[in-house]
Structure 1
Amino acid sequence: MGVDFNHLIELIPDINTAFLQTIYMIAISLVIAIVIGLPVGILLYVTDKGLFLQNRSVQVIMGFLVNLIRSIPFIILLVALIPLTNLIVGTTIGPSAASVSLSVAAIPFFARIVETALREIDKGVIEAAIAAGATPWMIIKDVLLLEARSGIISGITLTLISLIGFSAMAGTVGGGGIGDLAIRFGYYRYDNTIMIATVVILIVLVQFVQLLGDFVAKAVDKRK
């Protein structure tokens, strides 16, 4: 199995389009995951037993919903969300359509990471803030998010890497992007060149995201 470089050059426009579609999908999904997943993760933490917004009902309901979505394999989630996808974007194929399923999968994933990062905070810091008369919003903004920022950034990195893998899977059902290119050209046409090229692109993209995420997480970690 080798690479035909002349053939690869001919496919550059298709590869470029697929790459941009992948970036588009994961960018939209990551933003939605952060905007919704961050508050959900915070809520999962602060409503837990012994915390300043303890609420058993909210904790159980939110936890159940998060675990429910996370337990569904992504390929099944893609199919299950077809009606919702069609309702939101008016189509079930293409990168915009795939972004719906990617977002739904990423929100609970990131929420649990945020919750885990918050649980690593020394509760003495929270108790000190409460004793000083800080409001719940002040504790969340000035204590929780500040103390857990390194872990949250690492969570964003992990979520982004997962989205890259999920976006490739979305290509199997016409979601566009690198995965779609690999399926249409590499798998169906037995094109080894495009298969190798897409794998290399995904590897490089993941490595870049991981290195950048690690660098930023260490830069904001006040413990180091």
Structure 2
Amino acid sequence: MSTAESVPTTDHQAQIAARVKAVESIMIEKGLMTSAAVDRLAEIYENEVGPQLGARVVAKAWTDPDFKARLLENASTACAELGIGGLQGEDMVAVEDTDDLHHVIVCTLCSCYPWPVLGLPPNWYKEPAYRASMVRAPRRVLREEFGYDVPESVEIRVWDSSSELRYWVLPQRPAGTDGWSAEQLEALVTRDSMIGVGRPKQP
């Protein structure tokens, strides 16, 4: 697996967009879908589910210890407090990174993923190479494929998501953010940091 290879070129992106548009047109012509339905789906994945919602949850946990405790006890219930939940988020578990422990998420069987907080899974998450190699050699994969060098002194724990439980990571709050508002902190949270293959942005 190579993350560089998984990033489409501009030409490839244009080809994909053209194919998607063609399929969309055919489905509308055949009455299988309406333009309004397509627009609504796009709106949902742009505004109502996705990493920006996960970032809101993480920032809330970074600034509210009581909420953080509830999140670690029952992620689905805590997210529901913020109006976040739904399909593929019925049974979520948040696992917290610490100075001594780093978590990584994978789904070895398919691509189970907590859609309400992370949106749709990236292509590399669904690749058999990621699913197999992350379990066998997480430290090497993080370093070589994602440029994330986890110190040897830090234990790496790999969590295998399933249709019953979908895991995601509560990353550590970056240093130098004392006094920051939740809204400011949201901008530091990345999708990859909630999967465990990257760090939050640094201030």
Give the TM-score normalised by the residue count of structure 2: 0.24
Structure with greater contact order relative to length (CA < 8 Å, sep ≥ 6)? 1
1 or 2, which has the higher strand percentage?
2
State the structure with more CA Rg.
1
1 or 2, which has the higher helix percentage?
1
